Structure 1
């Protein structure tokens, strides 16, 4: 895996670059903002989102890794099927190379099979849908 910001790798589908979009939980609460993508260099697909939350002007913000398997749709926001408390319960992040051993606990926390396992359900970053007009609720 590699970080897209490193510039050495491109996504297979440029529209899947969701950096800068807000992430919302099933209730519409804002979890944070996507600041980075970890990509599978073989398939050139996003596998983890780095989401920043909290803080003020970038100071004291926390970062979480979220597997794309919990993304339900992408429009003008990234929608995940876990509530903000679950997402924020596991603090990770950082723009450095990631080995499978580094992220296995993240997949376990979210209860999804890692992308490298043979028996996992096939997943791909969801196609963007037309933007909705539903309001985003403030972070907790």
Structure 2
């Protein structure tokens, strides 16, 4: 039996919420790694239910018209720049592709989020002393 997750993230597309400034919505933008390699596009944003802040990007890659596509999750802490059509992240393509995969039938959500923060080496947002990244995330 799964335990109730103290860490609740919701896809913004499932929440009924909208960003205060629609011009700051980065969904649909290309994602590039630190070397300029294409990682896919921002498919959705994961928002925490308590502070209503974007915590992760769901990046879609592969497939045709969404069919057969796979998803990776990238922490907002790894975002280094946002332009009108591209989101840049500090991780390499290999690092993102090797990140833990989420399967809700096999892994508890909170355990998955903890493993993702550990994998990327960032302190978790629910931990003591965490500071939300300021630039470029003030655009969210």
Q: Which residue of 1 aligns with 2:56?
A: 48
| CA drift at 1:13 | 5.2
> Aligned to 2:87, which of 78, 83, 88?
78
SS for the counterpart of 2:45 is: strand
Q: Which residue of 1 aligns with 2:47?
A: 39
SS for the counterpart of 1:78 is: strand
Q: Which residue of 2 aligns with 1:119?
A: 129
Give the unaligned 5+ runs of structure 1.
129-140
CA distance in 1, matches of 2:14, 2:121: 29
| CA drift at 1:93 | 5.5
SS for the counterpart of 1:57 is: coil
SS for the counterpart of 1:47 is: strand
User: TM-score, length-normalised on structure 1?
Assistant: 0.76
Relative distance call for 1:43 and 1:11 in structure 2 (3 A) is: farther
CA distance in 2, matches of 1:3, 1:41: 10
CA deviations 1:66-95 (Å, max 9, x no partner) are 110000111121100011111111253589
Q: Which residue of 2 aligns with 1:26?
A: 34
CA distance in 2, matches of 1:115, 1:89: 22
CA distance in 1, matches of 2:57, 2:103: 11
Equivalenced residues, count: 126
Give the unaligned 5+ runs of structure 2.
1-8
Q: Which residue of 1 aligns with 2:10?
A: 2
SS for the counterpart of 2:95 is: helix
Q: Which residue of 1 aligns with 2:116?
A: 106
| CA drift at 1:11 | 3.8
